[in-house]
């Protein structure tokens, strides 16, 4: 019996001849952010550990509450700063050089195809978009991995999603994943790998693939993955530059034809239109045309789901020479300093500012109700983020809708949920 891509990576990392139900593989990289890593550091100290397994394979990314929103956030950043100095952790990223972790780590070349990675953040599954096995874990797991260099886990089964047909204008990875979660539900891939494949995925850009793997967790998935191809390598060479260090073979990073899947789900995208997930679950996905007219107080374009350069280009194309609806707050958050610089170079930042958007440095900020765009009681937001749970972006009596950057930009102009075709024919 053949193996899936994730199974192959776990087998390699485990150093065994065959795959067991439970494995204890060596991690290629492990990391946490300024919310989860301080907990891991405290557990590390509590356990009596006094050394790390490899100072180059551990990362701390301060991306949630920096610049520090309050004293607790400042204390957390200082805790990581001090720990990194004590153990000479090479990959400590503070406010001066930091982006949203699931975007930033790929740019820095710290995640490569075929690698096994764990992160103390549920959206670590994003990294599977370039063909890695990347799993979100708890802070105690991260603490143990920082000392042992390994992580215990049960090998997950895989559900294969095969996308066929032709995507219409304005559709991308975000629409595909919202539709898919709507189809299978928030528990539809419970502790399973979501392997995205088929002719539609093969033609899909890497930013869109990463948007899809990012939200595997929202269907209960253990992780998401797309087989890497030549387009993957071109993408990584472009954004990683001198940090690009993949030396493997793409032939080894494919699921075997006789691999065993829990199930195979085929999806025809030919008649699909842009999707919007309604409060209060990502699975509550509906066609944008069925939601026309829902008034908004805020639009957020950014996050680890849709804060990449292609997302900003799409949003800027729609917003160019137009204005955000008076009374509506539009927040744009490029996901990393490099993306911000590229957007500035291409004139996108100027377009956003001219449209009366607020442009922020890279931060997770409003996505988790942290800062940079909290909602008050009764307010309604449309966001390109990944979660719309009750109270996710502020008040438990607020409402969050999820969409692509295209729908978000069009809606910012109209002040209500809008199909992009209404702005650009």
Q: How far, in Å, are 64, 214, 325 from residue 409 at the CA level?
A: 24, 21, 11
Q: Which residues of the chain have pLDDT under 70?
A: none
Are 70 and 110 in a shared domain?
Answer: yes
Q: Residue 150's closest CA among 271, 258, 29? A: 29
Q: Among 247, 267, 287, where does a domain finish?
A: 267
Are 153 and 290 in a shared domain?
Answer: no
> What does the pLDDT read at residue 1?
76
DSSP secondary structure of 24-47: -PBPSEEEEETTTHHHHHHHHHHT
Could you tell me where the beta strands, DSSP code E, fall in 64-212?
91-93, 116-119, 133-136, 153-154, 157-164, 192-197
Are 221 and 257 in a shared domain?
Answer: yes
Q: Residue 361's closest CA among 409, 284, 302? A: 302
For the purposes of burial, counting CB atoms within 10 Å of the CB of 326, is it exposed (0-12), middle (13-18) or buried (19 or more)?
Answer: exposed
- For residue range 409-419, list pLDDT tens digits in order: 999 999 999 99
- What range defines the domain where residue 88 resides? 5-267
**Count of CB atoms situated within 10 Å of the CB of 39:** 18
Are 257 and 385 in a shared domain?
Answer: no
How many domains, the chain? 2
Are 248 and 279 in a shared domain?
Answer: no
Q: Among 208, 241, 267, where does a domain finish?
A: 267
Q: Residue 128's closest CA among 224, 229, 28? A: 224
> What does the pLDDT read at residue 69?
84
The number of C-alpha atoms within 13 Å of 40 and in the hemisphere containing its C-beta is 29
How far is residue 359's CA from residue 64's CA, in Å, rounded to a whole number?
Answer: 16
Measured in whole angstroms, the distance separating CA 292 from the mean position of its chain's CA atoms is 27
β-pairing, 399-402 vs 380-383, is parallel
Are 289 and 215 in a shared domain?
Answer: no
Q: Which residues pair with 295 in a beta bridge?
A: 416
Q: pTM for the full model?
A: 0.94
Per the omega criterion (within 30 degrees of 0), is the bond before 280 cis?
Answer: yes
For the purposes of burial, counting CB atoms within 10 Å of the CB of 361, is it exposed (0-12), middle (13-18) or buried (19 or more)?
Answer: middle
Q: Residue 328's closest CA among 301, 299, 304? A: 299
Are 132 and 57 in a shared domain?
Answer: yes
Is the CA virtual torsion 399, 404, 408, 410 positive or negative?
Answer: negative
Measured in whole angstroms, the distance separating CA 359 from the mean position of its chain's CA atoms is 20
How far is residue 120's CA from residue 125's CA, in Å, rounded to a whole number?
Answer: 11
Are 160 and 280 in a shared domain?
Answer: no
Could you tell me where the beta strands, DSSP code E, fall in 260-383?
263-268, 275-277, 285-287, 298-302, 329-333, 358-359, 380-383
Read off the CATH number of the domain in which 251 is found: 3.30.499.10
- For residue range 91-123, list pLDDT tens digits in order: 999 987 889 999 999 999 999 999 999 999 999
Are 239 and 304 in a shared domain?
Answer: no
How far is residue 33's CA from residue 31's CA, in Å, rounded to a whole number?
Answer: 7
Are 35 and 117 in a shared domain?
Answer: yes
> What does the pLDDT read at residue 97?
83
Are 207 and 167 in a shared domain?
Answer: yes
At 317 the three-state DSSP class reads helix
Are 294 and 150 in a shared domain?
Answer: no
As given in the structure block, the two tokens for residue 177 are 């994943």
Residues written for the chain: 425
Q: First and final CA of the chain: distance in angstroms?
A: 50
- Kindly report the average pLDDT of the chain as a whole number: 95
Q: Residue 335's closest CA among 358, 302, 311? A: 302
Q: Among 248, 267, 286, where does a domain finish?
A: 267
């Amino acid at each position: 019996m053949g193996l899936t891509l994730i199974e192959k990576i776990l087998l390699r990392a485990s150093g065994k001849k065959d795959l067991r139900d439970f494995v204890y593989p060596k991690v290629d990289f492990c990391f946490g952010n300024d919310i989860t890593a301080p907990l891991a550091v405290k557990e590390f100290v509590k356990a009596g550990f006094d050394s790390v397994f490899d100072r180059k394979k551990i990362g701390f990314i301060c991306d949630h509450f920096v610049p520090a929103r309050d004293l607790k956030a400042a204390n957390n950043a200082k805790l990581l700063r001090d720990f990194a100095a004590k153990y000479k952790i090479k990959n400590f990223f503070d406010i001066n050089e930091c982006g949203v972790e699931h975007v930033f780590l790929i740019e820095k070349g710290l995640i490569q195809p075929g690698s096994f990675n764990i992160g103390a953040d549920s959206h670590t599954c994003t990294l599977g978009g370039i063909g890695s096995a990347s799993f979100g874990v708890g802070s105690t797991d991260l603490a143990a991995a920082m000392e042992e260099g390994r992580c215990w886990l049960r090998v997950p089964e895989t559900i294969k999603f095969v996308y066929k047909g032709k995507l219409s204008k304005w559709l991308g990875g975000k629409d595909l994943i919202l539709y898919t979660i709507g189809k299978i539900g928030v528990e539809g891939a419970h502790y399973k790998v979501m392997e995205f494949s088929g002719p539609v995925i093969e033609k899909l850009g890497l930013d869109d693939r990463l948007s899809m793997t990012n939200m595997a967790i929202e269907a209960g998935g253990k992780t998401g993955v797309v087989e890497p191809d030549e387009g993957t390598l071109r993408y990584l060479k472009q954004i990683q530059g001198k940090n690009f260090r993949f030396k493997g073979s793409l032939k080894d990073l494919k699921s075997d034809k006789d691999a065993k899947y829990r199930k195979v789900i085929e999806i025809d995208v030919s008649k699909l239109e842009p999707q919007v997930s309604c409060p209060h679950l990502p699975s509550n996905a509906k066609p944008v045309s069925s939601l026309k007219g829902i008034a908004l107080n805020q639009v957020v374009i950014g996050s680890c789901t849709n804060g990449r350069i292609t997302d900003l280009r799409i949003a800027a194309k729609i917003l160019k020479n137009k204005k955000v609806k008076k009374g509506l707050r539009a927040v744009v958050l490029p996901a990393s300093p490099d993306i911000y610089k590229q957007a500035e170079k291409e004139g996108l930042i100027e377009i956003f500012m001219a449209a009366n958007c607020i442009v922020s440095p890279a931060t997770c900020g409003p996505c988790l109700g942290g800062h940079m765009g909290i909602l008050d009681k009764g307010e309604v937001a449309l966001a390109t983020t990944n979660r719309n749970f009750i109270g996710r972006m502020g008040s438990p009596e607020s409402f969050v809708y999820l969409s692509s950057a295209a729908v978000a930009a069009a809606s910012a102009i109209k002040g209500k949920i809008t199909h992009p075709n209404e702005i650009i024919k």
